Structure formats: C-alpha cells, structure tokens
Amino acid sequence: MPTLPKTPSLPDFQTYIVEMETERGFITQNIVQKCLLLSEEVGELCKAIRHQDGMIVDAALKETHAAHECADVLMILLSIANRLNIDLEQAFREKEALNKTRSWTKEKPPIAC
C-alpha cells in the first residue's frame, strides 16, 4: 500500500499516484479515459460548490464535500500528467514565470439583467 511522506512534495504526489493506480488496477486507463474522468470529477466539484453555496440542486443529492472533490480532481490531474511524462512542479514553475510577465486587469462587473 503506497504512503505519502508527512510533508510531501509535488513529485511525491506524482509517485504516489503511480503506485496507487498500479495497486488498484487503474494504471491501464488511457489518457482519454483519464480526461473523461477529470471532466466528471470537475462536474462533481461544481455540484458540491453549488450545494455548499445554497444554490438549488437535485433534492436526491447525497452529501458532497468540496474538499473530497478537489482531492479527486487533483488525483486525476496528477494521473494525466504522469501519462504525459510531465514533471508538474517544473511545469507549474515555468508557467508561473510566464504569468509573472503578463499584465492583469480587473474584471468588469457583470451587466444586470
């Protein structure tokens, strides 16, 4: 059974995901299957946030926890990065370096209907 260090790094999480997927038999899922799972998990996260925010949701909706759905999204994202041989920490640092060179503006308020 894979375990994470007490204070894991992003590469530790990526290694954990490989070990977990191997143990649970998910390692054979291809990139398309993982992308579809990611979409499903993002949808579940959005539903949990709607529920948490008090928006109207399906009355039969079981209790959902945004934290658990965020964890599911992270696990699938790490799995996709692994399948693409992406060092996610390096990719994050490179992308954030690019973002720091950009100019950001505030959003305009929505138009009232």
Neighbours of 76 (CB within 10 A): 22
Of residues 18 and 104, the one with the higher pLDDT is 18
Domain definitions of the chain by residue range? 10-99
CATH topology of domain 10-99: Helix Hairpins (1.10.287)
**Residues 6 or more apart whose Cβ sits within 8 Å of residue 109:** none
**Tokens coding 23:** 């143990």
CB of 45 within 8 A of CB of 32?
no
What confidence category does residue 112 fall into, taking pLDDT thresholds of 50, 70 and 90?
A: confident
Output the pLDDT for position 108: 80
